Amino acid sequence: MMKNLYTSLSSIALTIWVGGLVAIGYIAVPILFSAQPDKQLAGKLAGEMFHALGYIGIVCGLIVLTHTQWLKEKGKQRSKGLWLVGTMLVLSLIIQFGISPQMAELKQLALPEDVMHSIYSDKFKTLHGVSSVMYLLQSLLGVYWVAYHHRRDIAEK
C-alpha cells in the first residue's frame, strides 16, 4: 500500500512538473507577452511565474528522482529514469540558482531603464537565450519521460 501511495505521489509530481513547464512556458507566457502592451510588466510577471515554477520543479523533481532511485526495476529502465529526471532537476537548479539571479541583478543594475534598453541588454539576452535552451531541453525530457511511462503502463496492462 505504501509503495502504491509513493508511486502515485511520484506520478502526480511528474505531471505537475512537466504540465507546469508546458503550461507556463509555452502557453501562459506567450499569451502574456502578446496581450500585455507593457513588455517590461509582461517580463516581470513571466519571471514571477518561472520563479515559482522553478521551486515547484525542484520539489517535484526530488520526489520523482527519489522514487526512481528506489524502484525495484533493474537495468536500463531505472538508469534511463535516473538520467532523465536527474538531468531535468540539474537544469532546473541551474536556471533557478544560477541564471535567474544573474538576470535579476542585471534588471536591478539597469534601473530605472528597462534592461533591454540598457548597457546590460547583450548580457541579459545571452543569459535569457541560455535559460530558454535549458528550459526547452528540460521540457522535452519531461514530455519524453511522461510518454515513456504512459507507453510502459499500457504495455503492462
Residue 13, Cβ density class (10 Å: 0-12 exposed, 13-18 middle, ≥19 buried): buried
pLDDT at residue 33 greater than cutoff 70: yes
* End-to-end alpha carbon distance in the chain: 19
Number of other CB atoms surrounding residue 130 within 10 Å = 15
| 5-30 pLDDT tens trace | 888 999 999 999 999 999 999 999 99
- Give the tens place of pLDDT for each residue, 55-88: 999 999 999 998 888 766 556 666 788 899 999 9
d(CA 144, CA 150): 10
> pLDDT value at position 149?
72
* 117: helix, strand or coil: helix
Is residue 88 within 8 Å of residue 142, measured between CB atoms?
A: yes
Please state the pTM of the whole predicted model.
0.89
State CA 20 to chain mean position distance: 8
Question: What is the percent of the chain with per-residue pLDDT over 70, rounded to a whole number?
Answer: 88
Q: Residue written as cell 502526480?
A: 12
Sign of CA dihedral 79, 82, 83, 85: positive
pLDDT at 153: 56
| Average pLDDT over the chain, rounded to an integer | 90
Task: Give 49's Cβ-side CA count (13 Å radius).
Answer: 19
Quick one: pLDDT at residue 126? 98
* Domain spans, the chain: 2-156
Count each helix (H run) and each strand (E run) in the chain, helices first.
Answer: 6, 0
Q: Which residues of 132-148 are buried (b: 16+ CB within 10 A; e: fewer)?
A: eebbeebbebbeebbee
In this prediction, residues 28-44 reach a mean pLDDT of 95
